[in-house]
Amino acid sequence: MTKFGPSGNCDRFYAEGYEHTEEAAYFVRENGLDCFEYSFGRGIRMTEKKAESIRAAFEKEGVEISVHAPYFINFANPDDEMAAKSYGYVLDSARMLRAMGGTRLVFHPATQGKDERSVAVDRTCDRLRILRDYIYLNDLQDLIYCPETMGKVAQIGTIEEIVRFCEIDSIFTPCVDFGHVNAREQGSLKTVQDYLDRLSYMIDSLGYERMKNFHVHFSKIQYGAKGEIRHLTFQDTVFGPEFEPLAEALCRLKLEPYIVSESDGTQADDAIAMKRMYENILPR
Ligand SMILES: [Zn+2]
């Protein structure tokens, strides 16, 4: 089943008097949504006890939780010591994710830096193979690791690069941030066919089974010549992308991803809007 939910707590969550992540489970379900993404973007500062408490709340409400690993991850870093920290960020996020009762971990793979693109991408591949080995050594291979498509040209993470990373091992499943793809490609996502082309390529490369429940981030994003500038809300009418053509493409290809809204402050309401659009397209 396709799932919809917010990334983090939206402005309305706080306006309605909620504060804690445990309450997000209730809030998400009350709003007719299905999942929630917790961000360790600025670091992993959570006790096991808090993770257990979050797990209990999300289990009670039947809401699926995923995590976003720290933004500092960079598997293309030429410095091996810095890269070693990146393994730690993923492994620590994975342990917390398991304690929280979730199965999906999203991470930003790398930044190009001063190297040529192909050198940085090859290095990222080598490091992701090492990461894979660490994940198995630590018995964390039952979780799903989602490298994300990125919105800035200087970041590693085109759809083709993400597919290459996922070909390394079945523990990897793509996180496609369509707002990022659209921003990086100067507004390339407009028609149903634009989405069908990219999704068909991913299915052909990774197989339907892996793509069936892939991970999606969706928001409208302002962009310039270097790609992503900032996340917007569904109020935007200039930058896009629009969700309806994606919903149509997902239905045609029988894909049932987890769709997380990363709108700026209106994540839950925009996730509700996407769920409605999707249900209007679903064949009855
Ligand atoms: Zn992200």
Query: How confident is residue 155, by pLDDT bands cut at 50, 70 and 90?
Result: very high
- Better-predicted residue by pLDDT, 236 or 29: 29
A 10 A CB-CB count for 273 gives 16
284 CA from centroid of ligand 1 (Å): 34
Instruction: Output the CA 137–ligand 1 centroid distance in Å.
Output: 26
For residue 139, the one-letter residue type is D
- Ligand 1 centroid to 108 CA: how many Å? 6
Count of beta carbons in the 10 Å neighbourhood of residue 212: 14
For residue 198, the model assigns a pLDDT of 98
Over 70: is that where the pLDDT of 284 sits? no
User: Of 140 and 281, which is predicted with more confidence?
Assistant: 140
* Interval between CA 27 and ligand 1 midpoint (Å): 22
Report pLDDT for 282: 82
| H helix intervals, the chain | 11-15, 21-30, 48-61, 80-99, 117-137, 159-166, 178-184, 192-206, 208-212, 244-253, 267-281
Residue 183 CA to residue 44 CA, distance in Å, equals 28
Q: In angstroms, rounded to a whole number, what is the distance separating the alpha carbons of residues 47 and 165?
A: 31
Residues of the chain by 3-state class (helix, strand, coil), percent to 5: 45, 20, 35
- Show Cβ contacts of residue 270 under 8 Å, excluding neighbours closer than 6 positions: 219, 233, 234, 261, 263
At CA 183, angle to CA 182 and CA 186, rounded to 5?
Answer: 80
- For residue 98, name the pLDDT band (cuts at 50, 70, 90): very high
At residue 283, does pLDDT exceed 90? Answer: no
Arithmetic mean of pLDDT over the chain: 97
Q: Determine the Cα–Cα distance for residues 269 and 257; give it in Å rounded to an integer.
A: 19
The string of pLDDT tens digits covering residues 14-27 is 999 999 999 999 99
| Å from CA of 90 to ligand 1 middle | 13
pLDDT in tens, 218-258: 999 999 999 999 999 999 999 999 999 999 999 999 999 99
Assess whether the previous peptide bond of 78 is cis (omega < 30° from 0): no
Q: From residue 254, give the alpha-carbon distance in Å to each of 42, 56, 100.
A: 35, 32, 29
- Domains, in order of start, for the chain: 3-281 (3.20.20.150)
- Give the integer Cα–Cα distance in Å for 242 and 218: 9
Task: Compute the average pLDDT of residues 209-224.
Answer: 97
Whole-number Å distance, alpha carbon 153 to ligand 1 midpoint, is 15
